[in-house]
Amino acid sequence: MWKKSELREAPAPLEGPVVGTIIGGTIIWFVLFLAQLPFYGWFADNGHAWWVWTCLAGGGLGLIGIWYVRGRDAALKRAAAADHS
């Protein structure tokens, strides 16, 4: 077990183009969903229909993620503007 003296300080979080990354990932999930739809019968016959629904769920969660990171980005910008004034 770790002792408190052995614990290290957590590194600072990485900042980058978070909104663009989430949008790109969401687009990929939806493209994968649409690409698999014509083959849904095959997926269902072979017990892999969950692949199709996983892609749809990924796209839906990505939409929530876009909403979240845009709000976070706006809050960070407001906080930075408040610090400068």
Q: Which of 53, 52, 54, 65 is nearest to 25 (CA)?
A: 65
User: Can you tell me the distance from the alpha carbon of 48 to that of 54, in angstroms, rounded to the nearest whole number?
Assistant: 10
Say if residues 43 and 49 touch (Cβ distance below 8 Å): yes
- pLDDT at position 12, please? 86
Interval 50-59: pLDDT, tens: 999 999 999 9
Determine the angle formed by the axes of helices 18-36 and 49-84, rounding to 10 degrees: 160
Is the pTM higher than 0.85? The answer reads: no
